[in-house]
Amino acid sequence: MNGVASLSAAHRVAVFGGTHGNELSGIALVGLWLRDGAEIRRRGLEVRPFMANPRAVQERARYIDTDLNRAFTPENLSSFQGEDLPYEVKRAQEINQIFGPMGSPDAYDVIFDLHNTTSNMGCTLILESSNDHFNLQMVHYIKHAVAPVTCSVLLNDHPRLHYSTTRSVAKHPIGLEVGPQPQGVLRSNIFESMRLILKHALDFIEHFNGGVEFLPCTVEVYRVVERVDYPRDSNGNISAMVHPDLQDCDWEPLNPGDPMFQMFDGRTVQYKGDCTVYPTFINEAAYYEKQQAFVMTKKETLNANGIKVTKS
Ligand SMILES: [Zn+2]
């Protein structure tokens, strides 16, 4: 479609930290903004900082009973409240009440969910839909604002690989994933990168609400196509590590025949696919429990419609 589509203003915005209690950048930033929100205040916007999983934050653990960032399924959100539910399922219901209900007109317009990764991914924005033109325009704006620093865009809209994120309660969910940073550690460079991306994101929303027109554009994204597990022995135990040629090479091309894993006995496991892919979340610490060594993506260019705010 050419031309410029009219969209409603985005007045209610939330910034989540501590969806995972051992990812300290978002926890520190949200803690800071809960004490003094001047930095995230914008004209015509309610910006609400929020600690998503306070018990996990207190324990410095990813979660208490189950991963909050996989808990927002229709079944969980409709489970009877009085039942003896896992802590994160109860928390998902509370978050859905405060910021949702998911899929309803009452839901928050935007939720930014702040995460750290142990992988060498740099600054990454995560989208859940290739049709959300508001979000596509926002990531386009952010990418230009932070250039020449790279901000990659990961698109996860695969019906099988998609998962039920905390941010999915909002009309426009967007994840911020910055790394590398070990779990339970704060690094100033990662903290400042995250802070800067959020600043530009809020500026974008303020400009949009204020009547700035954003012209049609294109956005380069990495679309999730597969999750790759470690090689395993007959007992299901890991029998290889990420190959040194692949380690820390997030977003770089992996071609047929390139090394993927190094077996404990020294042999190399090569990538046997028939086309170039772009691995990311390589050797992410939190994904060992999810039986995932990395995520394979394909590079794609999406067209974003022009957008402007509907005059009220
Ligand atoms: Zn996380």
Which tens digits make up the pLDDT trace of 241-262? 999 999 999 999 999 999 999 9
Residues belonging to the chain? 312
DSSP for residue 229 = P
Domain total of the chain: 2
Q: Does the residue 294 lie in any domain?
A: no
Q: Does the residue 293 lie in any domain?
A: no
Residues 17 and 155 in one domain: yes
Residues 174 and 280 in one domain: no
Residues 262 and 145 in one domain: no
Here the CATH number for the domain that contains residue 271 is: 2.20.25.160
Structural domain span for residue 278: 228-288
Residues 275 and 217 in one domain: no
Residues 195 and 176 in one domain: yes
Angle at 95 between CA 90 and CA 98, to 5 degrees: 130
Q: What residues act catalytically?
A: 177
Residue whose entry in the numeric block shows the structure tokens 């090689």: 231
Residues 123 and 145 in one domain: yes
Residues 215 and 99 in one domain: yes
- Whole-number Å distance, alpha carbon 154 to ligand 1 midpoint, is 14
| Ramachandran class of 122: left when φ > 0, alpha when ψ lies in -120 to 50, beta otherwise | left
- Whole-number Å distance, alpha carbon 175 to ligand 1 midpoint, is 9
- Whole-number Å distance, alpha carbon 117 to ligand 1 midpoint, is 7
pLDDT band of residue 20 (cuts 50, 70, 90) is: very high
pLDDT digits (tens, 9 = 90+) for 121-167: 999 999 999 999 999 999 999 999 999 999 999 999 877 767 799 99
Phi, psi (rounded to 5 degrees) for 146 = -90, -10
